């Protein structure tokens, strides 16, 4: 028996396959224009990696913003529940999860059983999400994966625009005015980290705190969150896969 969890995100689609002996396989693909094709691609790759057939998979559970657009899943589950499940399995000591993805950010409080106690979510505004960093990285002629290593906090300038489109213009203006790119990048990290930390404080932060989602790969944002919240921030090695892992674990539990 095997179970698959798919997290069809705004930017990236993630999949985790778990076999009965708990062996795990994972895959990530750009979601692109078609969540359906991304899901099909993930399932094919996961089956290939595990050397099994579709018939060997008991259940496929899906989460993420594109979950309703796909036909492969036996059931869809909210991202909040899946992230809580995935993180609690990897890090049972965690009580607060901060997830920053491509188009939303969320803070989730969990108990010792991995059950959701409360959560807060920003899915209205791109500021404080991975999209903000992607758009502004492009304005700086960089890929989002290059930002963290390129920041220089000693030259940090504030990026004050609340809106991603205005922030892009602000950055172009700052660079044209002679501000260093490395200082602007530090300002971008500060902007995202502060915004999400404020949401976390409103909900209430309890140790220990985990940081997940694609933006958790960015050490600059991680540092700002740690400073703002005054605590250590744990980033699991599979930080971008915790939603898919949670979905796969729930599929196996059934
Ligand atoms: P979604 O589920 O909405 O697709 P993810 O949790 O997969 O979101 O996160 C996507 C975001 O993660 C991107 O918008 C980008 O900002 C960030 N990201 C992805 N890969 C990297 C990387 N290698 N380094 C830094 N940031 C990254």
Count Cα atoms within 13 angstroms, Cβ side, for 124: 4
Same domain? For 221 and 190 the reply is yes
Same domain? For 192 and 147 the reply is yes
Same domain? For 120 and 209 the reply is yes
Domain contains 85: no
Ligand 1 pocket residue status of 111, Cβ below 6 Å: no
Domain contains 15: yes
Q: Phi and psi at residue 56, in whole multiples of 5°?
A: -80, -10
Which tokens hold the place of 189?
């990290």
Same domain? For 226 and 114 the reply is yes
Which tokens hold the place of 65?
């913003």
Ligand 1 pocket residue status of 164, Cβ below 6 Å: no
Nearest CA to ligand 1 atom 18: 214
Ligand 1 pocket residue status of 35, Cβ below 6 Å: no
Same domain? For 160 and 190 the reply is yes
- Structural domain total, the chain: 2
Ligand 1 pocket, mutate which of 214, 219, 246 (most atoms under 8 A from CB): 214
Give first-to-last CA distance, the chain, whole Å: 12
Domain contains 86: no
- The per-residue pLDDT string of the chain (254 residues; one tens digit each, 9 = 90 and over) reads 899 999 999 999 999 999 999 999 999 999 999 999 999 999 999 999 999 999 999 999 999 999 998 988 999 999 999 999 999 999 999 999 999 999 999 999 999 999 999 999 998 888 899 999 999 999 999 999 999 999 999 999 998 887 888 888 999 999 999 999 999 999 999 999 999 999 999 999 999 999 999 999 999 999 999 999 999 999 999 999 999 999 999 999 97
CA geometry: angle 203, 209, 211, nearest 5 deg: 95
**What DSSP line would sit under the chain, residue for residue?**
-EEEEEEE-SSEEEEEEEETT--EEEEEEE-TT-HHHHHHHHHHHHHHHHT--GGGEEEEEEESTTGGG-SS-SEE--HHHHHHHHHHHH-TT--EEEEE-SS-EEEEEE-TTS-EEEEEEE-S-STTSHHHHHHHHHHTT--GGGHHHH--GGG------SSHHHHHHHHHHHHHTT--HHHHHHHHHHHHHHHHHHHHHHH---SSEEEESGGGG-HHHHHHHHHHHTS-EE--TTGGGHHHHHHHHHHHH-
The CATH number covering residue 56 comes to 3.30.420.40
Ligand 1 pocket residue status of 242, Cβ below 6 Å: no
Same domain? For 76 and 135 the reply is no
Ligand 1 pocket residue status of 214, Cβ below 6 Å: yes
Q: How far apart are CA 147 and CA 217, in angstroms?
A: 10
Domain residues for 138? Answer: 93-235
Q: How far apart are CA 13 and CA 32, in angstroms?
A: 9
Domain contains 87: no
Ligand 1 pocket residue status of 215, Cβ below 6 Å: yes
Ligand 1: nearest atom to the Cα of 7: 2
Ligand 1 pocket, mutate which of 132, 149, 215 (most atoms under 8 A from CB): 215
Domain contains 214: yes
Q: CB neighbours (10 Å) of residue 250? A: 20
To the question of pTM greater than 0.85 for the whole model, the response is yes
Ligand 1 pocket residue status of 218, Cβ below 6 Å: yes
Specify the pLDDT at position 216.
98
Same domain? For 231 and 246 the reply is no
Ligand 1: nearest atom to the Cα of 28: 7
Same domain? For 102 and 131 the reply is yes
Same domain? For 97 and 210 the reply is yes
Q: Which residue from 250, 253, 244, 254 is spatially nearest to 5, judged by alpha carbons?
A: 244
Q: How far apart are CA 87 and CA 72, in angstroms?
A: 24
Beta bridge partners of 3: 18, 59
Same domain? For 150 and 113 the reply is yes
Same domain? For 133 and 171 the reply is yes
Same domain? For 150 and 165 the reply is yes
């Amino acid at each position: 028996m095997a179970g698959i969890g798919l997290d069809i995100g705004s930017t990236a689609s993630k999949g985790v396959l778990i076999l009965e002996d708990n062996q795990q396989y994972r895959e990530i693909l750009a979601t692109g224009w078609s969540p359906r094709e991304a899901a099909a691609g993930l399932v094919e790759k996961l089956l290939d990696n595990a050397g099994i057939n579709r018939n060997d998979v008991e259940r496929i559970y899906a989460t993420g913003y594109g979950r309703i657009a796909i036909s492969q899943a036996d059931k869809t589950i909210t991202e909040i529940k899946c992230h809580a499940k995935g993180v609690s399995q990897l890090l049972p000591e965690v009580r607060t999860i901060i997830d920053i993805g491509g188009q939303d950010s969320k803070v989730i409080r969990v108990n010792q059983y991995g059950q959701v106690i409360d959560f807060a979510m920003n899915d209205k505004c791109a500021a404080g999400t991975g999209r903000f960093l992607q758009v502004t990285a492009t304005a700086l002629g960089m890929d989002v994966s290059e930002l963290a290593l390129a920041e220089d906090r000693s030259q940090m300038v504030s990026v004050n625009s609340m809106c991603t489109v205005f922030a892009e213009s602000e950055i172009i203006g700052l660079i044209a005015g002679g501000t260093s790119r490395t200082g602007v990048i530090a300002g971008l990290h500060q902007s995202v980290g502060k915004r999400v930390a404020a949401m976390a404080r409103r909900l209430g932060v309890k140790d220990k705190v985990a940081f997940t989602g694609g933006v958790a790969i960015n050490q600059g944002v991680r540092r700002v969150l740690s400073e703002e919240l005054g605590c250590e921030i744990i980033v699991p090695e599979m930080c971008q896969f915790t939603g898919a892992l949670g979905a796969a674990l729930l599929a196996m539990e059934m």
